[in-house]
């Protein structure tokens, strides 16, 4: 089946008991044990819940991997995956990963005794030099965000596997519709399902998908033991959002392409970061491993004043830390999503007060452009 069909015929499109065309929300904590002492699929919803399972199986199918796990947030998914590692292990992480991931890697997990190095994973020489004998994983985002650097997933998988390390990819920005890292050699994919997968600014959720059965058993153990599971109602919201993933992602991309091309021609804009533009340095590599560029872009204004002006005066986008929603969202990463990066680290990366990130929503691209133009002209249309 092709994508639009697969999203609607996941194996969970109908309730076999009633014929209902939506997975029922099993809002339940405990299940009656019909024959005590004998195995049955569900006993307690932390260990397993039918609505959550429908989402987990759907995500495993979409990512082309074997086993899906749904968590209470993207950070719960990421932190649960990090629980696969132990005292004495070393992890290499991308240097411009999401600020919340940077925060747990620098301020929480080191308490339990593992080391982290931050490296530009797009630079394979630097990445190769960062391995130690005790390196157990490479953790990355491609495109990274907000700077949209592209990492060669096939090359990193080869490098890491030759050194006995796993590859973990945060695929939030691309979604499996555009990019499936497990098919390119990664071992684990994580998502903030809060973003494009659910898509409607109405739920906080996370997902992890792993290819290999042994890793799946370990992550399943952690999911149940650590307990940061996604509730049934929220699992249902992500399932509902995912049904329209293809049409939303196509439209997000059409809008982002138009906005990026328009911004690239503006004198107030110094640089546009969007892998869909053929001028983007990672454009070719990106399209060798993904089928689209998604709906997220960043741009650096010539002056901090114009960045502030666009942030304050645009009328359509909400000023919000999130991305991947039906509504356009604008943010200043230095002050919002990436504020938890150490200041000197942020500066080295170029995440400063001239950089804005725009998650292009499903509004008409012409309206988004007209709004940005008015904001750049200085018209006060802000909320």
Ligand X SMILES: Cc1ncc(COP(=O)(O)O)c(C=O)c1O
CB of 260 to ligand X, least distance (A): 19
CB of 132 to ligand X, least distance (A): 26
What is the DSSP code string of 121-177?
TT-HHHHHHT--TTEEEEEEESS-TTT-----HHHHHHHHHHTT-EEEEE-TTTHHH
Round to whole Å and give the CA distance between 321 and 343: 18
Catalytic one of 98, 102, 196, 274: 98
Please return the burial class of 279, using the count of CB atoms within 10 Å of its CB with bins 0-12, 13-18 and 19+: exposed
CB of 342 to ligand X, least distance (A): 18
CB of 21 to ligand X, least distance (A): 28
| 188 SS3 class | strand
Round to whole Å and give the CA distance between 72 and 220: 14
Residue 377, preceding peptide bond in cis (omega within 30° of 0): no
Mark whether 170 is an active-site residue. Answer: yes
What is the DSSP code string of 229-256?
BPPHHHHHHHHHHHTTHHHHHHHHHHHH
Which residues here bind ligand X, judged by CB under 6 A? Answer: 73-75, 98, 100, 141, 145, 170, 172, 192, 194, 204, 206, 322, 337
DSSP 3-state percent helix, strand, coil across the chain (nearest 5):
40, 15, 45
Q: Name the residue number minimizing CB distance to ligand X.
A: 74
Q: Identify which of residues 174 and 375 has a Cβ nearer to ligand X in the complex.
A: 174
CB of 127 to ligand X, least distance (A): 19
Q: Identify which of residues 151 and 306 has a Cβ nearer to ligand X in the complex.
A: 151
Q: Identify which of residues 49 and 192 has a Cβ nearer to ligand X in the complex.
A: 192
Q: Identify which of residues 131 and 236 has a Cβ nearer to ligand X in the complex.
A: 236
Catalytic one of 6, 46, 154, 315: 46
What are the residue ranges of helices labelled H in the chain? 3-8, 50-62, 74-82, 99-103, 124-129, 153-162, 175-178, 213-226, 232-242, 245-264, 283-289, 304-313, 343-349, 365-377
Q: Identify which of residues 74 and 232 has a Cβ nearer to ligand X in the complex.
A: 74
| Closest residue by Cα to residue 181 from 153, 218, 155 | 153
Q: 189 near 216, Cβ under 8 Å?
A: no
Q: Identify which of residues 128 and 340 has a Cβ nearer to ligand X in the complex.
A: 340
179 vs 142, 171, 174, 211, 324, CA distance in Å?
Answer: 10, 8, 6, 15, 15
Catalytic one of 52, 53, 180, 195: 195
Encoded tokens for 310: 């666009």
Kindly report each contact of residues 26-33 with a partner whose C-beta sits within 8 Å and lies 24 or more positions away, as own/partner. Answer: 26/50, 26/51, 26/232, 27/232, 27/233, 28/232
Mark whether 46 is an active-site residue. Answer: yes
CB of 203 to ligand X, least distance (A): 9
Catalytic one of 61, 170, 234, 371: 170
Q: Identify which of residues 355 and 375 has a Cβ nearer to ligand X in the complex.
A: 355
> Catalytic residues, which ones?
46, 98, 170, 195
């Amino acid at each position: 089946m092709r994508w639009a069909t697969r999203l609607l015929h996941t194996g969970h499109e109908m309730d076999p008991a009633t014929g209902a065309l939506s997975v029922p929300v099993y809002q339940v904590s405990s299940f009656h044990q019909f024959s005590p002492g004998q195995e049955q699929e569900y006993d307690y919803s932390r260990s397993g819940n039918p609505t959550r399972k429908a989402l987990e199986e759907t995500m495993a199918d979409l990512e082309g991997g074997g086993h899906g796990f749904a968590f209470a947030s993207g950070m719960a998914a990421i932190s649960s995956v990090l629980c696969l590692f132990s005292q004495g292990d070393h992890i290499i992480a991308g240097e411009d990963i999401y600020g919340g991931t940077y925060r747990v890697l620098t301020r929480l997990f080191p308490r339990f005794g593992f080391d982290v190095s931050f490296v530009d994973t797009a630079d394979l020489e630097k990445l190769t030099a960062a391995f130690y004998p005790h390196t157990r994983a490479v953790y990355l985002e491609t495109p990274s965000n907000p700077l949209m650097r592209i990492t060669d997933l096939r090359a990193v998988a080869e490098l890491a596997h030759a050194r006995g390390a796993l590859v973990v990819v945060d695929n939030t920005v691309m979604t499996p519709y555009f990019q499936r890292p497990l098919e390119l050699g990664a071992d684990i994919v994580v998502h903030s399902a809060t973003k494009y997968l659910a898509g409607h600014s109405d739920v906080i959720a996370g997902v992890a998908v792993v290819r290999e059965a042994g890793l799946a058993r370990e992550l399943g153990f952690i999911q149940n033991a650590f307990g940061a599971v996604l509730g049934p109602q929220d699992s249902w919201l992500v399932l509902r959002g995912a049904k329209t993933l293809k049409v939303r992602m196509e439209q997000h991309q059409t809008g982002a392409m138009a906005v990026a091309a328009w911004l690239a021609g503006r004198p107030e804009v110094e640089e546009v970061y969007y892998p869909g533009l053929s001028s983007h340095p990672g454009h070719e590599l990106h399209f060798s491993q993904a089928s689209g560029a998604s709906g997220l872009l960043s741009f650096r204004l010539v002056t901090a004043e114009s960045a502030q002006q666009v942030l304050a005066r645009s009328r359509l986008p909400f000023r919000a830390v999130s991305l991947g929603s039906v509504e356009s969202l604008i943010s200043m990463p230095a002050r919002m999503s990436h504020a938890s990066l150490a200041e000197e680290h942020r500066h080295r990366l170029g995440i400063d007060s001239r950089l804005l990130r725009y998650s292009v929503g499903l509004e008409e691209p012409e309206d988004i452009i007209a709004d940005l133009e008015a904001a750049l002209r200085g018209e006060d249309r802000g909320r």
